[in-house]
A and B are shown apart, each in its own frame.
Chain A
Amino acid sequence: MHEMALAESVVSIAEREARRAGAERITSVRLEIGALSHVVPEAMRFAFSAVSRGSLAEGARLDILRVPGRAWCHDCGREIEISALGDACPACGGYSVQVTGGQEMRVKDLEVA
């Protein structure tokens, strides 16, 4: 998916919040990115450094907290962890896997100066 457009949203959210707080500069931005979300962390880093140029977030550190993919296996009735959509249940090998978490893409917090 489109990390460039997502990075633009991250910068605009961060700038809005920094201005609201009367800050002059954003020194770091923390994201929470689920393993089953539409974001490739490396692509997000690249995009963020490109689109933050000239903004309050220029030069800011980007921290990405990874949230594991969670699912429910209907075959064995277990709560499981998966790393990608379409993965088999690690316990029983079945594919009746229903995603229950790990799809978030959030700006968690900022550090400003």
Chain B
Amino acid sequence: MAINKYLRERFFPHLWCPGCGHGTVLNGMLRAVDKLGMSKNEIVMVSGIGCSARISGYVDFHTLHTIHGRALAFATGVKMSRPELNLIVPMGDGDALAIGGNHFIHAARRNIDITAIVMNNRIYGMTGGQYSPLSGQDIIATTAPYASIDPSFDVVELSRAAGATFIARTTTYHVKQIDDFIKQAILHEGFSVVEILTQCPTHFGRKNKQGSAVDMMKLYRDITTPIGSKAKQENPNLIERGIFVQEDKPEYCREYEKIIEKAMGS
């Protein structure tokens, strides 16, 4: 397969559960990289801790598997020192927006050229199904046996407010969008966020009676709609998919180059 050249095949089959959407994200991401014709040496993947974060072990790039929530901070150090490298940072929803929330908004604010992929399964998969800041209310989790009362972040709105200059959302059902959006996110110069709703049948699905991985993907099909669609006007509860933000703003490393010029000149 064309994308197999990017895999560390000796670690397959991977450790994710049957039907886990994280594998589909890996699949789509590699297709994006392949379509861009990128070489393995020009990509650095930085991840944190979580089921999602294990993605970095499976790809034959420069891979930095760090600590929970801090992937973007490590990535900032790598990118600042080697701006010519392409940084891809896949994160779970807890990784990105609970423990890593501060790094997330600040990376967005700086508009540093990093592609952040939020693999949103609305639960802490790795630690056994506790609720996350993206679970939202009325969700059953191992730490919310009576249903969660915490409202959730909207990744798109949060990223927009924080200053991300490319923001997109899709789901594992809409696979063609996965590679399309990730491709555009990589090409975009600035901080890009691609949120992908990805099923965790093992914890989220089971606790919330959403059935199998297949059933969960059908739900993604049914509860999402393209941005600004007629369906959305009729049913405001639908979750929009598509590219929400795509704008040119000064990128952090380029701005720092100017600082170097200034400092060297003086």
A and B from one complex: no
